[in-house]
Structure 1
Amino acid sequence: MKKLVILSVLLGLLAACSSNQSPSENSTTKTTNNSSVAQNTSTKQESNKQSSSKESQTKASEEKTPDGAFQELTKAYPDVKMPRKLPRDESLFLNIAAVGNQDKLSVLYYNLPQALVMNHHSLNQATPFASFKKTTYDTVGKAKAAVGYQYDDGGQKVDLGHSIAGYQQSGTGSTYLSWKEGNWSLLVRASNVLGQEPVTTAKEVVNYLEEAFLPIPKSVGQIIIDLTASNQEANTITWQEDKVVYTVSHEDPLPALEMAVSME
């Protein structure tokens, strides 16, 4: 009889233990499920971050190149001599639009708050500060004619320093000052209406060219500095090398000369 009572008690205790363990197992199952949900959420968030990062990288690559616009230009036209120095506001980004091939190339340079890939469509609405051209002609004669060489030693003689004499003449509303240096002919145009005078600029050019060396024309070169203009073609330097004619221009006179001097 005692054995039966003891057995009954033991069975009761086992039943109670089994009943107490069920909530713990359920809790463990719930915790596992919650952990799985958290992992899925974390995976989705990480995937969204990666997707957003890829979109940002793609957008950045459309707007800015790692090497810069100038590196893009030289890689696209590795055999073309071109200016290596582009005087400008260094706080802004150099941007470039270029069209052509190794024989005939036109380049426009822009100074903008944002760096863009070469030939970005938004450059169509921007204003360039400088330009470069290379043109190959069929004959040396055609190339020479394309330079537009002009020199006039008439008018008032002006001492420009360094044993160089210029010749000044006045026309309709303008004053022109011409002189020669080697195979180069140089001309400064000033506006009488705006109260400009060409001598000061001419002397600055002469002084600069005493220290810097322009390319040697084969056979002629022409420099025109137009003080009456303010666009990227206001100051133009053109010269011939056999069948090839090079032209660099800049909105300011001395920077245009610096561009030509840096040709390589």
Structure 2
Amino acid sequence: MKKQPLWMTIPVTTAVLLALAGCGGPNSNTESSENSSSPTTTVGELTQTGSGGADFTNENETGTKENTGTVGSVETSGSQANANATGQLGVVDVIKQVRNQLKMEDAALPTSFTLAKDTYLGAAIPSNTSDAFIVNFYATTESVAINDQSLTASDSKVPVLASYEVKTYKDPDQSDIFPETDLKDIPKDMAVDLGHGIKGMSEGAAGSQYLTWKEGRWTLQIRSVSEDKMNNPGIAKKMVEYLESHTLPVPKDKGYIIVEYPSGGKSVHVTISWQDGNTIHQLKTDQVPLEALDMAVSAKS
């Protein structure tokens, strides 16, 4: 890693300390903790080794993905830190402009994103009504306007960071989004200790392995291909540890997280869904699980 100048080292250290100061775990009887008043990119503890899915716990993989940007009002190096000074859109500006364009009142949006150095947050709104919307977020090499053609064109090659959808249902009890899972009596040979008094259930079927556990009103599951021999317990333990100090939105009434590793285990798909009355929020991303959790944790109106 390059040795950073002293003027960059001090605020990055401060940013890491702030990132570690999250509070509250996912408890069905507690309200979501308040995040920083401004949308931010993340640094420090959310950095994962390598890229893609398997690197989440694979000790044989090396390399670190460095993330720079802003945490609260603390500035660090990178394009996002200087966005306002150069007249380009920073994360705060992008979220504000997206919210101003949405027709749904008091719309919740994720406000924290992990961005590599010299990348910007872009956004497009492919669906926008008073009772539903979809916002796609992108990692761009330059600051662009909301719904810029470079993002929306059919042949666009700009990588999607995450897709966030909010939809109102007459009957929000969608079994395809919130499948029923009974974890009350886990057989001893299927029980996995995930730490902090949480037990998961490990099972295999049709060439796949599953690890499922509950935290408050949330059900979480990791799926992978059996022959890949993914370390599902190791991944789950990191997620459990993260959620001990970061609070997911409190579902009213259900929340479900699926972490899926396709064959080979080198990529990952994460879907985070939660119900709030007749409204269902759903975040989809191919970022590593902790970065996906961070986006969901940051969602607010």
The TM-score normalised by the length of structure 1 is 0.68
CA distance in 2 between partners of 1:217 and 1:230 (Å): 31
CA separation of 1:230 and 1:83: change in aligned 2, threshold 3 A: farther
Partner of 1:52: none
Aligned with 1:136 (options 165, 168, 177): 168
**DSSP-derived class of the 2:227 partner:** coil
CA distance in 1 between partners of 2:117 and 2:266 (Å): 20
Q: 1:1-264 alignment to 2 at 5 Å?
A: 68-77=93-102, 79-98=106-125, 99-123=127-151, 124=153, 125=156, 126-138=158-170, 142-145=171-174, 147-153=177-183, 156-228=190-262, 234-251=269-286, 252-264=288-300
- Stretches (4+) displaced over 6 A: none
CA distance in 2 between partners of 1:115 and 1:102 (Å): 28
CA distance in 1 between partners of 2:117 and 2:285 (Å): 16
**DSSP-derived class of the 1:239 partner:** strand
Shift of 1:66: 5.1
CA distance in 2 between partners of 1:230 and 1:72 (Å): 35
Q: Which protein is bigger by CA-based radius of gyration?
A: 1
Q: Which runs of 5+ in 2 are unaligned?
A: 1-86
Structure 1, residues 141-168: CA drift from partner, whole Å, max 9, x if none?
Answer: x212163233254561100000100000
- Structure 1 or 2: more helix by fraction: 1
- Asked whether the 8 Å contact 2:89–2:143 carries over to 1, the reply is no
What amino acid does structure 1 have at the position aligned with 2:271? T
CA distance in 2 between partners of 1:220 and 1:69 (Å): 29
Structure 1, residues 168-212: CA drift from partner, whole Å, max 9, x if none?
Answer: 011222210001111111100122233312111100110011111
Shift of 1:234: 0.8
**DSSP-derived class of the 1:189 partner:** strand
CA distance in 2 between partners of 1:255 and 1:66 (Å): 22
CA RMSD of aligned residues (A): 2.2
The TM-score normalised by the length of structure 2 is 0.60
CA distance in 2 between partners of 1:127 and 1:230 (Å): 17
Shift of 1:75: 1.8
Q: Which runs of 5+ in 1 are unaligned?
A: 1-63
CA distance in 2 between partners of 1:180 and 1:149 (Å): 13
Shift of 1:217: 0.7
**How many pairs does the alignment contain?**
197
What amino acid does structure 1 have at the position aligned with 2:232? P
**DSSP-derived class of the 2:106 partner:** coil
